[in-house]
Amino acid sequence: MSKRRLVDTNLIVRHLVQDHEKHAKAAGRLFDACDRGDVVIVVLPAVLAECVFVLESFYEHPRRDIASALGTLIGARSSGIRLTKTASRMPFLVDNKTIK
């Protein structure tokens, strides 16, 4: 079974916007690992909602473009990204270290 990683808004935004080189590369490595089947990325609905809010309000992207980007991000990795309602007992990453 693949490792599961709970991701936050920052990771998704950095991956999409590419405005912080170090963070964008780290996010890219995680999504690449997801593509290879090494990890399953877990996303809470609140994280997706916050991504929309940040991308629309701070970065001023149109909601249609945001929906397309998030849909592509999740759809392209449909076997490796899970939407879940709760994160109980889910390991997550802090500075690339797994916290349980």
What average pLDDT does this structure show over 14-18? 97
Question: What pTM value is reported for the model?
Answer: 0.81
* Whether pLDDT at 2 is above 80: no
Average pLDDT over residues 54-77: 92
pLDDT at 13 over 60: yes
3-state secondary structure 3-30: EEEECCHHHHHHHHHCCCHHHHHHHHHH
Written as one string, the DSSP assignment of 66-89 is HHHHHHHHHHTTTTTEEE-S--TT
Nearest C-alpha neighbor of 28 from the set 52, 48, 17: 17
Q: Which pLDDT value is given to residue 86?
A: 66
Tell me 59's DSSP state: S
pLDDT reported for residue 83: 76
